[in-house]
Chains A and B, each alone.
Chain A
Amino acid sequence: MAQEASSSTSSKTISLKTGDGEIFEIEASAAKQMKTVQRLIDDLGDDITIPLHNVFSKELPKIIEYYKKDITGEITKDFEAEFVKDLNDDEVKVLFLAANYLDANKLFEFLSQNIADRLESKSVEYVRKYFGVENDFTPEEESKLREERAWSFRGIKEDE
């Protein structure tokens, strides 16, 4: 993606450089919402391109889009639904981690809820894979646990 056109001269823009070398512009007020970026600005000054080693050109535009809406106070339920509609589970995960790295609280909270919603009907194996967690139960422990929760799908979802 090429550089976005800079915003109007009255508001300051900050240049962000992703881990894969691309540069994006955001408004200073949006940058304030991302505490990591703000800290870097405080350290490096706002005239220098801020390097974000852990965020890449795939995610950053989405994040910028979110905060563009946020500073104008336009984040609605519809916008949020639309925002995540076309993201698959892994894309959401990457965005979530980027929001965590950037210390962008509002986006972080919103995405954590979205991830929780996506995990709601998934199996144990899927959740393990998604979080990259290893199963450290012994086979006996595992079968005991499985037996105890075997009912949990016999509730609402199975009937429908």
Chain B
Amino acid sequence: MKRKKHSIPSPRVSQRSNKAKGKVVDELCPYFDNIPSHITVQILLQLPIESLLICKCVCKMWKTLISEPHFAKLHFERRPSLMIRTKDHRVSRTLYLLECQPEKFEIGTDNHVKLQPFKLPLRDANSKFGEKQNKIKNKSKCPYIASKPDLDKFGIVNSCNGLLCLCDPSNGNPLVICNPVTGEFIRLPEATTTPTLNTTRVTREQRLTALGFLPKTNEYKVIKMLVRYGKRVNDRESVILEINTLGTPSWRNVEADSQVSIPLLKYPTCVNGALHWIGFEGGFAGRPRSILCFCLESERFQSFPSPPQVFGNHNNTTRGNSKITMGELKGFLYICDSTFFTDVTMWVMNDYGNGESWTKLYNIDPLVSSFGSPDPSPYLSHYGLCFPIKHFEEGAAVLLYHPCNWFIYYEPEKYGFKVFQIHGPDPNFVEIIPHIPSLISLKDVVKGDNIEVLNIHSRCAKFKLHEENEALSLSQPIDGDLESLRSLFYYDSD
């Protein structure tokens, strides 16, 4: 057999063998610069988000590599995380990154690990910016500014492809799209005046907003909808639908299909270039009954198959207590039913659009089986949100949220249950936002000069809010296991 010369080139050999065997840093540097980008990516994917921000500044190629949404998705798969915000009466413009790495949950009972903060813009920043500008020049310390929740706080509508849609919490009007990791944000165009209707015939209205992404055209669209319901049962709703494609300077009116009836909608989720909501019947404390879908390409509503068993289970007994959420993980639509906290189920639509492909993935029995008690405390039924963390097949992992900021991380194959707690200044409740941290630049999204891309860090970072001295931190309760939870939630512990 002919001796083959191995194909891997060895350009550095002559250099090295000529020099001394001791380490010389300069020699080694050239050795690294020809490495293919997939190897660099391999290293970058293992870095935490803060380090990626540093690496973005290394050179143009790295900046492009890191800012790609695909990179963000791969990174998220290796280091799944959620964003958390304190849900209290103050402004809370800080989102905290909760990384779901089970090794990190074992920190001992005395340790508190601070969570990495990211800032959201302030709603009324412009006026503050003007006022304080002079004061900054004179003082070296960060000036504190007073903030008012009614003026400054943003509500978070949904997260799509690494961007967050923020709204005015009082009326749901979408105002800003931001990337909390890079600090960039854009203001959405001013709302056009909505035509007034004969108000005597309107009993209630629903304002709906969502941010979606259309991969086909690489466009982000924000939809804004005002649905007015008439008094009489057969009254048609009137729907005003407006869409803004990010990067354009105005809202477009779109005609909504009058044949499609719009119930109370919650949990906007963008999958496959369409927005989906769960439709609830019977008002605010109603029962989940359907899924409504809005195609971003055709800009039309259409019906969408729902997992029949899930919605059918909810009848009068669970009225008001239904805890069904919908979301997206790895491109799949999922529905999580944690109404019966003894039996949390997860459904995934394996084949998009195909109603038959709704598959029940697993039941989790986080407390009952461990304690053998058939009657868990009624306290439990009020909370208990469930978020899938890792992709469903490979060692599915789920995060469950109990009252008083206890979290249960459940990864059956490797770790079982891991319990931890989030501490903060006002620790009663946190808002959990499923979000894929991404370094996508809004400048690439917006393309062109129509919309100005602002950055929190070059504007409002100079200001501090009083609340920002306190940080959220993660701690491990007494034994880090379910036993300690039991004593909290069971009235009759033996």
B residues in contact with A116, CB < 8 Å: 43-44, 46-47, 51
Selected from B13, B55, B183, the residue in CB contact (under 8 A) with A148 is: B183
A residues in contact with B58, CB < 8 Å: 124, 127-128, 131, 133, 135
A90-B28, A130-B32, A132-B33 as given contacts; A119 in contact with B60, CB under 8 Å: no
B residues in contact with A94, CB < 8 Å: 28, 31
Selected from A44, A93, A122, the residue in CB contact (under 8 A) with B32 is: A93
B59 to chain A, nearest CB (A): 5
Flag whether A56 is at the interface (Cβ < 8 A). Answer: yes
A124 to chain B, nearest CB (A): 5
A83 to chain B, nearest CB (A): 17
A residues in contact with B40, CB < 8 Å: 131
B33–A120 touching, CB < 8 Å:
no
B3–A44 touching, CB < 8 Å:
yes
Flag whether B141 is at the interface (Cβ < 8 A). Answer: no
Selected from A43, A108, A122, the residue in CB contact (under 8 A) with B4 is: A43
From A24-32, A65-73, A150-158, give the one contacting chain B.
A150-158
B46–A113 touching, CB < 8 Å:
yes
Complex: A72 Cα to B1 Cα, angstroms = 34
B182–A148 touching, CB < 8 Å:
yes
B455–A156 touching, CB < 8 Å:
no
Flag whether A36 is at the interface (Cβ < 8 A). Answer: yes
A19–B57 touching, CB < 8 Å:
no
A119–B457 touching, CB < 8 Å:
no
A101-B8, A151-B461 as given contacts; A54 in contact with B1, CB under 8 Å: no
A112–B46 touching, CB < 8 Å:
yes
Complex: A98 Cα to B162 Cα, angstroms = 36
Flag whether A145 is at the interface (Cβ < 8 A). Answer: yes
A43-B4, A146-B57, A150-B457 as given contacts; A119 in contact with B51, CB under 8 Å: yes
A76 to chain B, nearest CB (A): 14
A120–B13 touching, CB < 8 Å:
no
Known: A112-B39, A149-B56, A152-B53. 16 other contacts (CB 8 A): A19-B17, A20-B16, A20-B17, A43-B6, A58-B21, A90-B25, A101-B8, A116-B47, A123-B54, A145-B56, A145-B57, A147-B455, A150-B457, A152-B50, A155-B114, A156-B116
Residues of A at under 8 Å CB distance from B?
19-20, 36, 39-40, 43-44, 53-54, 56, 58, 88, 90-91, 93-94, 97, 100-101, 108-109, 112-113, 115-117, 119-124, 127-137, 142, 145-152, 155-156, 159
* A-B pairs, 7 with minimum CB distance: A132-B33, A116-B46, A132-B29, A53-B10, A132-B32, A145-B57, A149-B53
